[in-house]
Structure 1
Amino acid sequence: MTTRVFGLAQSNALLMRRNLLTVVYAVGVPLVPLFMLAATPESTGKAGAVPLSLCLLMALLFPVYYNLLSMFVTRRDELVLKRLRSGEATDAEIIVSMALPGVAIVFVVAVIVAVVAAVLGFGLPINPILLVVGLLLSCATFAALALWTAAWTRNAEAAQLTSAPVLLLATMGSTRAAFPEGAQPWLDLLPGAALEDVVRVAWFGLEPGILGTEAVTWSATWGEAMPALGYLLGWTVIGVLLARRAMTWEPRD
């Protein structure tokens, strides 16, 4: 099973590398918020958490979410998925192999971001294990949402429109500071806000939330990040359930 999944994932990664525009979006765009980090005069977690989480969010939205969405829809219309399902590969293996290249890019971007952040004086994550757990759960969240979006996306061109609701939900959560204070508890439930909370806690040891500034110990970071991890898990479950109900492996009539 593992050999089959990685074999399919290598083929998907090769196809991704052949598309220059996809590579630019997957690797280049997520690093743009680093310019915000470089322009931040105050080397504190409160100032650095937003651009750092934006980098990781962009990596999740493009190589994981949008790439999986467009890849699934394109291969469904070209009957590639139908042919794969007629072989030995299971549905889960096909999906995992399609998502793996994007997940790998997320962690490559995370390493680059960590190096740049350390050079700029923002330090390395105080709890890297928590950050890895948060990124893995975020990858599962956006992969599930990609499959759900694919269920009601007729073709690859339509993905530019059908992806808008998820992109909006993600970015609204990451820009919650711009919304009225009364709306922020609701925005905390969104995946972008949950990711920012994980970054704030795992990287800087600060309490979650845009107003959270009190430092916590390494052991306490797990408890502080638990609500955000729960929100991400909830979005993953919702995405999987919706996708299973509506997803099709062959072109729609």
Structure 2
Amino acid sequence: MSTTTPRTEPTAPAAPATDAAGGSGRGAGVRRVRGLARANATLMTRNRLTLLYAVVLPVLPLVLLLTGPRGDVAVGAATVVTALMMTLLFPVYYNLLSQFVTRRDELVLKRLRTGETRDAEILVALALPGLVVAVTVSLVTVVVALALGAPAPVNPVLYAGAVLLGALMSVALAYWTAAWTRNAEAAQMTSLPVILLLVVGQVAVGFPDSVQRWTDWTPGAALTALVRIGWFGLDDGSTTPSLDLAATWSVGLQPVLVLGLWTAVGLDLARRSLRWEPQR
């Protein structure tokens, strides 16, 4: 496995003592992250294809609520799960992967690291636009679904947990994938394993029990289960709500742990293998 490229020493003057003590340094770091995130968001909106992937595709599944039977729990669950998957795959995972690889190839990241900007600030700033889109689309999904007859979430905390944990996991997997992606064009191929892990878990609801025992450990299955449990009170592959608020906590523990495990593994792999300069 590749090792992390050594950090180039800053050429700027030494920071004042207040930065080292964490006084003005934290505020400066926040300003740097905010400025970089704003620049990344601007670049995303200027690219029509990226904007289509990031904003339009995630909300398209909501059309199913307009065409399907009003108030149908099965249709509502499938629609919300699909919208969440599209949100995590495109504005968070794939957009972040392609942006990081492109800026690495253009030596933008290398130049940023020679200044005052810390590695963590660069990584957070790159991920922020996609995370904001993911949270916004998830909130829009709630409003639209309720307006079109879907039931109110049984356990809103579990649904919010699915969004936040899924977004953090997607960021971790994007940076890990970037470690072995040579260029932006190659991202179309290197992203396929992660996309498969998310998609196969979503459709695994209809698989036999012998297959589901394995697919339950995929991030897609965990996300699907959390949405079905937390919002609709659905257990396993049922189409009839059977879980009350208290029951959702115990049933939802396993998918939460699965998502947490995938997030921890992704962050560790990204930390140990991330490349900051192009592969020659």
Q: TM-score range by the shorter chain?
A: over 0.9
Q: What value does the CA root-mean-square deviation take over the aligned residues? A: 1.7
Residue identity in the other structure for 1:170: L
Which amino acid letter does the alignment assign opposite residue 165 of structure 1? P
In structure 2, which of residues 232, 237, 244 is the aligned counterpart of residue 204 of structure 1?
232
In structure 1, the residue matched to 2:264 is 237
One-letter amino acid of the counterpart of residue 163, structure 1: S
Q: Determine the C-alpha separation between the residues in 2 that align with 1:90 and 1:81.
A: 11
1:227 equivalent in structure 2 = 254
Superposed CA offset, 1:58-109 (max 9, x none) = 0000000000100110011111111111222221211111111101111111
Give runs of aligned pairs for residues 1-253 of structure 1, distance below 5 A. Answer: 1-41=29-69, 43-207=71-235, 209-211=236-238, 213-253=240-280
Query: Equivalents in 2 of 1:138, 1:126: separation in Å?
Result: 19
The structural deviation recorded for 1:224 is 2.2
Q: Report the secondary structure of 1:211's partner residue.
A: coil
- Count of aligned positions: 252
Offset of 1:44 from its aligned partner? 4.1
Question: Which moves more between the two structures, 40-49 or 188-197?
Answer: 40-49
- The range that moved more, 81-90 or 134-143, is 81-90
Structure 1 runs (4+) greater than 4 angstroms displaced: none
Residue 134 of structure 1: how far off its partner (Å): 1.9
Aligned residue type for 2:130: G
State the alpha-carbon separation in 2 of the partners of residues 132 and 72 from structure 1: 27
Rounded to whole Å, the distance in 1 between the matches of 2:245 and 2:118 is: 40
Q: Percent identity?
A: 50
CA distance in 2, matches of 1:52, 1:17: 25
Q: Please, which runs of 5 or more residues in structure 2 have no aligned partner? A: 1-28
Query: In the TM superposition, what whole-angstrom CA distance separates every residue of 1:112-161 from its partner, at most 9, and x where no partner exists?
Result: 21122112210332332332222111111111111111111100011011
Contact 2:70–2:150, Cα closer than 8 Å, also in 1: no
1:171-220 C-alpha deviation (Å, 9 max, x unpaired)? 0001113433321121111111111111112212333x223745333244
Preserved contact between residue 92 and residue 131 of structure 2 (Cα < 8 Å): yes
Other structure's SS at 1:206 match = coil
The amino acid that maps onto 1:155 is: N
Once residues 144 and 235 of structure 1 are traced to their aligned partners in structure 2, the CA distance between those partners, rounded to angstroms, is: 9
Task: Please list every run of 5 or more consecutive structure 1 residues that lacks an aligned counterpart in the other structure.
Answer: none
One-letter amino acid matched to 1:121: G
1:181 alignment partner AA: D
Q: TM-score, normalised by structure 1?
A: 0.93
Counterpart amino acid of residue 269 in structure 2? L
TM-score, structure 2 length as denominator?
0.84
State the distance in 1 between where 2:256 and 2:128 align.
21
